Each structure stands twice: as C-alpha cells, then as structure tokens.
Structure 1
Amino acid sequence: MNRRILTLFAALIPIVVLGVGGSMVTVPFVALGPGPTVNTLGEVQDKQVVDVRGVPLDPTSGHLNMTTVSVRDGLSIFEAFGFWLSGEHGLVPRAEVYPPNKSREEIDRSNQQDFSDSESNAEMAVMRYLHLPTAVLVRKVTEDGPAKDALRVGDQFVSVNGAPINAPKDVVGAVSAQPPGSQVAIVVLRDNQEQTVSVALGARPGDPGKGYLGINTGEGARQPMQVTFNLADIGGPSAGLMFSLALIDKLTPGELDGGKFVAGTGTIDQEGKVGPIGGIQYKMIAARDAGAETFLVPAGNCNEARARTPDGLRLVKVDNLEGAVKSLDDLNAGRDVVGCG
C-alpha cells in the first residue's frame, strides 16, 4: 500500500508542478486580438463621439465605426497557449509593444499624443477637403505651464502683443521674441466672444532665454464652428480616417454610409492622405463581429487584409480622404469600387 501511495504521489508531483507553473509563470509575449469598435456617428457616455457645434448639421444614421486592437499583457503559459489556439489572437514578443528602453508611462503618453494628433489631423483634413476657413487653436495647455489659468483648449488665436496670428509659427515667433517674465497680451475668440488675457511668460525648456507659454497649437475649424472629439482611453493614430468621414457626414448632405454598417481604419494627415496601421486582421474580426458589411482598408494594408478577410466582409481600398468619400458614394449608388483583390 505504501509503495502504491508513493508511486501515486510521484506521478502527481510533475502534474502539480506543471499546473502551478503554467498558471503562475508569465511569458515574454503579449496577445493581440480584436478590440472595441466605436461608431463615430454615435455617442459615448452621453456625448457625441464627434461633436460639432456652431453650424447647421445634416442628419446621419447607420455606422462609421473605428476599430481597435486589444493588447493583453502579463500572460501565464496557459493563457498564452489558450490565446494562440483561439484563432482570433496572435502572440508577439512583448518588446515589440512595450520597448524595454521606455517606461509604460512614456509609451502611454506617446500613444495618447498620437491619438490627439489623429483628431486634429482629421479636423484639418476635412476643413481642406470641404474648403472651409481655418484658424490657429489651442490644442493643449500644460497643467503647470505659464498659461494654465489664462488659455483653454479650443481658444482661437487672434493676436499676440498686437501681432496677428495666421499660423502656429506666428504664436511661437511672437512669444519667443519676448524674454521670460514678460507680460504678453493675447487676444482669443472663446465661445465666439473676443477676450484679452495676460500671461507672464516662463522660460522655454532647452532655450531658457526665450519666452514660453506651455501650450500646443494647431490649425482647425474657425469659430463659430467648434469640433470636439469625445473618445478617451484609446491610443494610437489609426482612428483618423473614420473621424474624418464622420465629420464630413455631419457637415454635408446625404449619408456617406447609406444608412448601413461601414467600419474601417487608417491614419490621416492634414492633406487627407490615408496611411497604414498595425493589427488589420484583428480590426476586421472586430468589425465583422459587430455587424459591419464593408471595411475601409488603407492601401498599404491591402495585401495583409486580403489574406485574412473574415467571411462576409467587403474590403474597400483607400488611398486618401477624397477616394474614401467617392468609394462610399459609389457603393450607395450601386457602382463598382476598388477592393483589395
């Protein structure tokens, strides 16, 4: 009896060790998979994802969904194996997503900055596409910067110390010309009302002899139009194309999506050029699972997308904003569009 018990214990020990190790030991990989998909024509937490005020809007319906990739970190051996078997996830070395020479906070800040840039690029691309007037806007105010109590995100520059502001470089030039400690008078439009604020300049980081406001500027819609993007906790630049299309849909007659379910992805620059992104296969899965029938694919991702297209999802190749709008118009009219085939 004792020998049998000892033999049983001897056989169980490797199984127990494997079970404990497999559930507790982490692997140097992360799992990528389908992430949340959000209708840019809809609402999130009772706010319009793309909120446009100050101008008449055209009614919209249907879906223009942006798509994301989920990243799961800290995987045990068993979890990694399970994701690998799922068929909807992939494992990549952790260092590809979280470079070891950067902290998690630095990576998150970079992703958030990319997302913020995608919003401002989308707004500017649409202004140029629709030939609408633009202005220099406050995009970010540093929490501990000299202008933290004087300027607000969305303020439209009129002048700095009497010098008119027509481009972001005009703000930099006017402020840098003054030494730290100087008081500058800044005229802005805020909620369509002209206001004058005074700021005591700080010292510019890296060049302490020049004045500094502690803000980021960019070009965007001129007041009375105001555009706000209300989507938090998402990083990266790949929502730019879908933000642009949602904004065009709200500002122009008709419905870009034809009242149907369109999803897509792609970066966008201020000239409307659409760029490739990562994780296209996971974004297509997320879109199809959500009910999308059509998926807008950056031209640079077409080969990869064609090889992994989910059943029932039509791919439309996109090079730029103008082409994306034309393709959606053609789909609605029953005309042929360029796919990724």
Structure 2
Amino acid sequence: MSESSTRTQGPGGPRPRLTRGRVLALCALPVVLLFVVALCAPLPYSLAQPGETANVLGKRGGKPVISVEGTRPRSEDGRDGRDGKDKGRLLSVTIAATQPEATVRLPDVVRSWFREDRAVMPREAVYPGGGDTRDAERRIAQEMKNSQDKAVTAALRQLHVSPDDVDVTLRLGDVGGPSAGLFFALGIVDKLDGDGTGSGGLTGGRTIAGTGTIDGKGEVGPVGGIPLKTQAARRDGATWFLVPKSQCGEASAQLPSGLRLVPVSTLDGALDALEEIRTDGKIPRC
C-alpha cells in the first residue's frame, strides 16, 4: 500500500467535521438569545395616547372649573350673562401615559410605533426626576399648582385687576402638569371680562382647544405630546387649536382633518387670535 493511501487516526477516532449548517446555527445562537432578551427586557419608555379634554368654561365633578369671588364675574358659568347664547367651549387637552412602574417591552414599542393614536416617549420626558407613581403624582400636582398660580397672575395682569380684589379657584380634578396654564388664563379672562364688550364670551360659540404653559407675564411656552393632544381636541369637537408658536411644525405633522392650528406666543396674542376667530377675521396660521 502506498504512503498516499494511508490515514492515521487519533486515539479517539476521527473528529466529526462541522457542516456549513452547523456553523451557521452556532453563529446564530447568540443573536437569537439577544433577540429573546430584547423581547423580554423592560425598556425606559412610556406609552401615551390622546387623553381627556376639559372645558374650562364649564363644570367638572359638579363644580365650575373656574370660580371667581370678590368681584362680580361676567356670569356664573363663564358664558354670556345677558342672553345666554354663547355656548362655545375652551377645551384644555391632555395625554394619558403609562405609569412610571409600568413595564414596557419591545413588542409594545413596535405596536405603538405604527399607530397614529399612540406615541412612544422616553420615560424621563414624561416623568422627569424618576421615582414611582406616588413621586410622579406629587410632582405633577405641584406643577399644576404652579401653573394655576401663574395663570391667575397673567390673567389679572392682562385685565389690570389687583389680586387683592379677586379670589380665583381652579379645579381640574386629577389632571396635572403645567400645560393647561394658557387655557386657565383664557378661562379667567372670559369669566371676568368676556370679549371685552360686556355682551359675549371669548369663543363666539365655537369649540376651541389648545395647550401651552404660561408664566406670570403671559408668555406661552412649549409642552409635550402635541400630536396626541390635537387628536383629542378633534375627537371632542374642536375646530380650532391654539398651539405654542414654537411647536407649529410638530403640531402640523399629524394634524387631524378639520382642525386648524393657531400659533400663539403670549396671552395677549391668544386673546387677539380668539377675537379674529369670533369675527371671521385674519386668523394667524402655522
């Protein structure tokens, strides 16, 4: 037998050869394991959707959202005290988000990503400062209190009314955060002064929604969740939406049909815009 035909075997016999399929399977295994971990691992996100709206000229829980004492309001319900024909609404809008402790996994994110009525937001953006639900509720309640105080200051300043002459109470139940500030201020102005003529309210009978923070000088600031808030507004009958001017682009991206954006940057500018809406005048556009 020639040397070329001789095979030498080790003590354990011939070693099995790795086929191409086995190699690919071994290489794919870590990827599969990582994918399984990714599916099961909680992610630092919150899921949000359009929330409730609240008419700041109406009632909540059987009580007026805005009550004024110490000076005679234009009417008890924030509408025209003379003829009662002003049936318009000023809708403050919200988003509804998962709680800080809620477990959000990759499938939840993927499903929400492809729905216009859902949003995936960094948890820190929804609940700054971290913590559990109780911590978040305390912070959100404090933000709402600060927002209300600023709204009262801005509205009374706009009307040149001394805080010593009027006592304003604001109620929105379990709604929190600072984004209702602008509409609180508008509601207070409507209660005390209406459209300024003594014969009607700010809405002219229309349903107008919107959002925006406000400071004591009447400056309007940006808020989160604008696309979801426009959906909530249109769902509940609004045809106009007051939006912080700096967020026109964000609001326009997924604007529901039948809803028109009106950019505002100050309380004074918002009141001017409402006048143009009432009179079918030159209404600002995004």
Please tell me the TM-score bracket, short chain as reference.
Answer: 0.7 to 0.9
1:306 Cα deviation from its structure 2 partner:
2.1
1:100 Cα deviation from its structure 2 partner:
7.1
Map residues 1-341 of structure 1 onto 2, 5 A cutoff: 26-59=42-75, 60=79, 61-72=87-98, 73-75=102-104, 77-98=106-127, 102-135=131-164, 222=165, 225-252=166-193, 253=198, 254-340=200-286
The unaligned stretches of length 5 or more in structure 1 are: 1-20, 136-221
Q: Which amino acid aligns with 2:61?
A: Q
Q: Which amino acid aligns with 2:218?
A: G
* Mapped partners of 1:231, 1:84: distance in 2: 30
Asked if the contact 2:130/2:136 (under 8 Å) is kept, the reply is: no
1:231 Cα deviation from its structure 2 partner:
1.3
* Mapped partners of 2:185, 2:153: distance in 1: 9
Q: Deviations over 1:290-328 (max 9, x none)?
A: 110000011121121122221111111101111111111
Q: Deviations over 1:139-178 (max 9, x none)?
A: xxxxxxxxxxxxxxxxxxxxxxxxxxxxxxxxxxxxxxxx
Bigger Cα Rg = 2
Asked if the contact 2:211/2:243 (under 8 Å) is kept, the reply is: yes
Q: Deviations over 1:194-247 (max 9, x none)?
A: xxxxxxxxxxxxxxxxxxxxxxxxxxxx3xx32101112122111010011111
The unaligned stretches of length 5 or more in structure 2 are: 1-36, 80-86
1:58 Cα deviation from its structure 2 partner:
2.2
* Mapped partners of 2:143, 2:45: distance in 1: 24
TM-score by length of 2: 0.75
| Secondary structure of residue in 1 paired with 2:282 | coil
| Secondary structure of residue in 2 paired with 1:233 | coil
Structure with the bigger percentage of strand = 1
Q: Which amino acid aligns with 1:52?
A: V
Q: Deviations over 1:94-139 (max 9, x none)?
A: 344345754443332222111101111111111111001123xxxx
Aligned length in residues: 233
1:78 Cα deviation from its structure 2 partner:
4.5
TM-score by length of 1: 0.63
Asked if the contact 1:98/1:104 (under 8 Å) is kept, the reply is: no
RMSD: 2.3
Quote the sequence identity (%). Answer: 38
Q: Which amino acid aligns with 1:296?
A: L
